[in-house]
Amino acid sequence: MARLAEAEAAAERERERLRASEGEREQLAAQLREAATREERAGDEIARLMADTGTFLAEREQLAEARAREDEARARHADLEMRVEGLRAEREAEVVAVSARLESIAAERDRLSAALAEVQAERDCLAAEATRHVAGEARPPQSGLAPADIVVVDDEPAWAAAAAGGRQVRVIPPGDPALQSLGGTPPACVVVNLAARGALAALATLREAGSSARIWGCLATPGAGRALPLGPVEPVVRPVEPGAVLATLRRHAAGGARILTVGADADALISLRLALVREGMSVSMAWDGARAVQLFGTERPEIVVIDLALPGRAGYALVAELAACDPPPVAALIPGDDDAATAFAATLAGQAHAERTLPLADLVARLPGRE
């Protein structure tokens, strides 16, 4: 019995050992299954990594090709920039050469224009002298204006009563044919009311007729009995010819004179400046009225060339501003498209200008005698 019990106990222990082995086997089987799953997953991951590696290699190859194309494009761009820079340098050199040539041509043109104007003036002077000589031989001298007479170009008859100091004042309306005769018998001086209708044209007519008299400007409204005194005035014909303007300004200034040009026509005024500078004159330029007024005080110009075509009728206001200068500079006036009489009348309506006006008799008394 003891051995039977012992055998049964041994059998039970064997069964327990078998059960433990079965558990271990199942555990090993589970581990094997898990390992197989991990192996499968690893295979999938390896496959994915291999696919990604292929994609990466393909992309790296594409990137290398793109970089090669980019390097080639940069090389072409650098080559193009060098060619463009070379062309730009050639163009700038051509522009400089052409500009120098144009300036040379402009200088030669201005010189020839000035020479032609001088020849024309001399010829006109000789012709007028010959005419006066022939007329003097053909008939006895006729009575005309006395040497001290003053001619006022205006429509206002009140000037006739403004004579003083034994001088006679003769009033000639703008457009009167009598203006033509002043070229042969110049008075001591001429006063032109620039605010009179047709005054600018009359100013040009006087010079075209050969008058060598000094012409003084003023601004007066009809019936006021007063006028705003200006300095000497000269006409400038449009389009502006530098040679002709230079010949006109020689009446009043020589080399070294201070000149201010005011206007928006850059081409015309720059050409004029070149001609004046070559003559030895000091030239300042203003493109608008505000800058011109500043230069009146800082530069104190002896001659001011004013384009009356400035926007906003600024040119007409500048002419009136000249009355505040001491002494007033010579005003060379380029006509504009506005009605000058209306524009000057509007300018005179300002209180600042009204305070500078003088009675006509006082203005006449201030005029110089024959030079």
- Most confident of the following: 136-150, 333-347, 355-369: 333-347
Mean pLDDT throughout 274-291? Answer: 92
* 227: β partners: 358
The residues, any chain, with a CB within 8 Å of residue 153's CB and separated by 6 or more, are 172, 173, 174, 179, 190, 191, 192, 193, 196, 199, 202, 203, 206
Torsion region of 216: left, alpha or beta (phi above 0 gives left; psi -120 to 50 gives alpha): beta
115-119, 334-338, 355-359: least confident range = 115-119
pLDDT of amino acid 141: 38
Instruction: Tell me the C-alpha distance between 266 and 332, whole Å.
Output: 17
- Token pair for 88: 């730009």
Pick from 216, 197, 189: nearest CA to 156: 197
* 234: β partners: 332
Backbone angles phi, psi at 165, to 5 degrees: 65, 30
CB-CB contact of 242 with 160 (8 Å): no
First-to-last CA distance in the chain? Answer: 176
Confidence of residue 51 (pLDDT cuts 50, 70, 90): confident
- HEC readout, 35-54: HHHHHHHHHHHHHHHHHHHH
53-67, 159-173, 255-269: least confident range = 159-173
143 in helix, strand or coil? coil
227 in helix, strand or coil? strand
- Most confident of the following: 37-51, 91-105, 267-281: 267-281
Q: Which amino acid is at 58?
A: A
* 243: β partners: none
> How much of the chain, in percent, has pLDDT values that exceed 90?
33
Instruction: Tell me the C-alpha distance between 326 and 371, whole Å.
Output: 21
Instruction: Tell me the C-alpha distance between 310 and 321, whole Å.
Output: 15
Mean pLDDT throughout 209-234? Answer: 90
Pick from 360, 349, 306, 346: nearest CA to 328: 306
146 in helix, strand or coil? coil
Q: Which fold has domain 138-366?
A: Rossmann fold (3.40.50)
> Rounded to the nearest 10 degrees, how much is the dihedral formed by the CA atoms of 154, 160, 163, 168?
90
pTM for the model: 0.60
pLDDT of amino acid 185: 62
CB-CB contact of 222 with 159 (8 Å): no
Could you report the per-residue pLDDT of 125-169, keeping only the tens digit for each? 555 555 444 444 443 333 344 444 789 999 998 898 887 666 788
pLDDT of amino acid 147: 44
Domain-wise residue ranges, the chain: 22-109, 138-366
Tokens 């104007």 locate to 117
Interior/surface letters 127-137, b for 16+ CB within 10 angstroms, e for the rest: ebeeeeeeeee
